[in-house]
Structure 1
């Protein structure tokens, strides 16, 4: 498995293998934010195929109560592994560890992410990796479906954070 920063040429395979809800590509939006300097879009690859992704948004979560609870905390957003049969095989954890490395390289001392109340499997992974609850919030988002209808989504979530250790990165030796 390889974790790489998204390139322009990666957007089409992401759309093909890890579709976005709705008519507009969330992959293209994330890549555009990366190009503008607002994020870093990470993609997990196995055998030349994208199997996971996550975006570090450097300005942090847009929800006011999250921003107030820990100002300046970057957010790992849109973490996902596809297809579902590949979950619980280390792909999500590898994406998170790479996001943590990027945050440390930028001098950040925390990384945060949201988890929906109805996603205990993801919450368990985040807890194993050392993420602790910071605050509850409601994530409201929308997308345009393939028929052109705007769909509104409301998810009760918890924002989790992890304090990133300072000093040299730990290197595991075999």
Structure 2
């Protein structure tokens, strides 16, 4: 993982994680206006409109500069194709943050979420000096659980029927990892 602070990018073997641009809004809308992504995310609206994408993207740079949250586009290192998004929140009071991500359905199963999440975890611990990083997922979303487990995170608990999605209650599974260097 190579972090370029000036350009606000993280480069991995296959990916470049970069800030979203307004020009990404059409691609974001296309990827997010997908029921299978919606049903596995806490806050993504559905149907997903161009206005949703624009209003989401417009705060990313300010959030990054304010050290509030770090929201990256997951893109192909060679072609620049947008695969999805990954974010790291920053709770400065407790020196920790949450990793959250989504990948467009046509790019599922290629390891992009895992590769991006490993880079974000390294960014959190090495660049931002977090003490802890956590993640949560719907118990019904086993693929997301596998990504989190591959990061070396340990299950910390399950909040039973914690959120309601489409008139159905979902368990939220929490995982976390402590920075062994700090």
TM-score, length basis structure 1: 0.69
Q: Deviation per CA, 1:57-114, whole angstroms, max 9, x where unpaired?
A: 1129xxxxxxxxxx5430012x1111x3422222011111121122111110211111
SS of the residue aligned with 1:25? Answer: helix
Contact 1:5 1:40 in 2 (8 A): no
CA RMSD of aligned residues (A): 2.9
- What residue in structure 2 maps to residue 108 of structure 1? 130
Matched, 1:76 2:108: no
In the TM superposition, what is the alpha-carbon distance from 1:165 to its structure 2 partner?
Answer: 3.1
Q: Within 5 Å, give how 1:91-170 maps onto structure 2.
A: 91-104=112-125, 105-137=127-159, 138-139=162-163, 154-166=169-181
CA distance in 1, matches of 2:53, 2:135: 18
Contact 2:73 2:84 in 1 (8 A): yes
- What residue in structure 1 maps to residue 107 of structure 2? 86
Structure possessing the higher relative contact order (Cα contacts under 8 Å, 6 or more residues apart): 1
Contact 1:15 1:27 in 2 (8 A): no
Contact 2:22 2:58 in 1 (8 A): no
Aligned length: 147
Contact 1:11 1:31 in 2 (8 A): no
CA distance in 2, matches of 1:165, 1:15: 35
CA distance in 2, matches of 1:11, 1:155: 31
TM-score, length basis structure 2: 0.66
CA distance in 2, matches of 1:159, 1:34: 28
Aligned with 1:15 (options 28, 40, 45): 28
- What residue in structure 2 maps to residue 53 of structure 1? 85
In structure 2, list runs of 5 or more residues that go unmatched. Answer: 1-13, 34-45
Change (3 A) 1:3 1:48: closer
Aligned with 2:69 (options 19, 33, 39): 39
CA distance in 2, matches of 1:91, 1:99: 12
Change (3 A) 1:134 1:27: farther
